[in-house]
């Protein structure tokens, strides 16, 4: 029995001696990459992409301070052909991902690099592109995207351009910031219970461009819909179709507090500085939105209407209504929905019912002769 037990222990020990414990890929800044660094990966192919590593962080700290996701030692001279490389990296949770291009240890700038990000191993579902080169527009040397948890693939195409050669490292730098950090909200009902203070922050850092909020749920499928959010162009801000998208002016630390007066769901959308394809593009920048629910606000005031219950009006009458606290949810005249400012021209008996979002109702009946 003892010999059998000893044999089992010996076998276990032998098996343990062959276990290879995976080591994390070391993170390194682009300026620190050398020709012998571990982060300089061998060439990859479409069938066997090289391994890249993207860091997960709580916030974006700026492109110059990002770690290298992948680095390729490259030598290009006049007449040399293009160099292709392929690598992959894994995003551990749904994230706002920033990828940028960086060149290091190069003697000259005789290189042009194009990068394409894909969501599948077949390199068929393109997410976006970015590029590098000394003459390139700096706004095109980075890419942002909202990526779901999973593995992503990058194609690199480097070729000689300009008069000089290139002998250095082509680096991709980047970071993955969880979407829970991109739109972070909390609220507190104020002492009078007539309003709540919302606290909002984003981890986009200096790559943040603007934030908006509106009442109600807007799903991710409506994130780029100008009818909900409007858009920004060279002329200025174009509000949403219903003009209910409210811009937020954030503090220097990308935080802001604002008040709301009604219970229910609110949606906040944040957009980064990614350059649009053109100035009138409603899909400017990479955006992410999330909704949250406010409850606990007490509103006992019914909507205010312009017509008086029991009164008879001669000629036409203009109907207006409002609710400064929770807002008007619906207004119906003889069962038909109307908007504030509606005019009645025909003789008859009318009943107006106006409801607010807190559940308060104003009902008046009047005549027109």
Question: For residue range 111-155, what is the model confidence (pLDDT) as tens digits?
Answer: 889 999 999 999 999 999 998 876 656 667 889 999 999 999 999
pLDDT reported for residue 76: 82
Collapsing DSSP to helix, strand or coil, 14 comes out as helix
**Both tokens of residue 331?**
């207004």
Check residue 14 and give its pLDDT. 33
| Three-class SS state of 271 | strand
pLDDT, position 219 = 84
Cα gap 245→78, rounded to integer Å:
54
> What tokens were used for 2?
């003892």
Which domains are present in the chain? 22-177 (2.60.120.380), 183-294 (2.60.40), 304-368 (2.60.40)
Give the pLDDT of residue 330.
96
pLDDT for res 35: 40
Burial (CB < 10 A; 0-12, 13-18, 19+), residue 215, is middle
User: Which residues of the chain fall below pLDDT 70?
Assistant: 1-43, 105-109, 134-139, 232-237, 275-284
Asked if 110 contacts 166 with a C-beta cutoff of 8 angstroms, the reply is yes
* Maximum Cα–Cα distance across the chain: 111
The predicted pLDDT at position 102 comes to 83
**What are the residue ranges of helices labelled H in 47-178?**
none
Starting at the edge strand found earlier in the chain, the sheet holding 336-337 runs 312-313, 361-368, 348-356, 328-333, 336-337
Q: Are strands 83-91 and 50-51 parallel, antiparallel or unpaired?
A: parallel
| pLDDT, position 163 | 73
Please enumerate in sequence order all residues whose Cβ is within 8 A of that of 302, keeping only pairs 6 or more positions apart, or say none. Answer: 323, 354, 356, 360, 361, 362
CA dist., res. 105 & res. 266, Å (int): 49
What pLDDT is stored for residue 2 in this prediction?
42
């Amino acid at each position: 029995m003892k010999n059998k037990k000893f044999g089992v222990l010996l076998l276990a020990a032998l098996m343990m001696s062959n276990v290879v414990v995976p080591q994390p890929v070391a993170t390194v800044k682009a300026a620190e990459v050398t020709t012998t660094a571990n982060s300089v990966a061998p060439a990859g192919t479409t069938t066997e992409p090289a391994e890249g590593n993207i860091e997960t962080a709580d916030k974006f700290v700026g492109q110059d301070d990002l770690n290298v996701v992948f680095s390729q030692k490259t030598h290009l001279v006049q007449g040399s052909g293009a160099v292709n490389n392929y690598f992959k990296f894994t995003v551990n949770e749904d994230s706002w991902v920033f990828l940028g291009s960086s060149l290091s240890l190069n003697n000259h700038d005789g290189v042009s690099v194009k990068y394409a990000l894909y969501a599948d191993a077949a390199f068929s579902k393109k997410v976006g592109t970015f590029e590098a080169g000394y003459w390139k527009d700096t706004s095109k040397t980075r890419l942002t995207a909202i990526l779901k948890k999973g593995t992503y693939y990058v194609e690199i195409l480097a070729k000689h351009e300009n008069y000089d050669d290139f002998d250095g490292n082509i680096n991709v730098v980047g970071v993955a910031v969880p979407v829970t950090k991109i739109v972070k909200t909390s609220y507190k009902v104020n002492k009078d219970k007539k309003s709540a203070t919302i606290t909002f922050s984003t981890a986009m850092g200096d790559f943040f461009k603007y934030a908006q909020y509106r009442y109600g749920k807007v799903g991710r499928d409506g994130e780029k819909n100008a009818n909900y959010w409007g858009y920004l162009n060279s002329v200025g801000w174009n509000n949403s179709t219903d003009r209910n998208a409210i811009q937020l002016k954030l503090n220097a630390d990308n935080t802001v507090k604002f008040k709301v007066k009604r219970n229910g769901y609110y949606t906040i959308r944040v957009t980064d500085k990614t350059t649009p394809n053109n100035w009138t593009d409603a899909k400017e920048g990479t955006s992410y939105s999330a909704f949250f629910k406010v409850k606990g606000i007490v509103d006992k005031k019914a909507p205010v209407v312009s017509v008086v219950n029991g009164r008879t009006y001669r000629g036409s009458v203009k109907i207006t209504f409002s609710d400064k606290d929770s807002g008007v949810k619906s207004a119906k005249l003889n069962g038909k929905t109307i908007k504030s400012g509606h005019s009645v021209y025909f003789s008859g008996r009318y009943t107006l019912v106006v409801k607010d979002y807190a559940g308060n109702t104003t009902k008046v009946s009047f005549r027109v002769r």
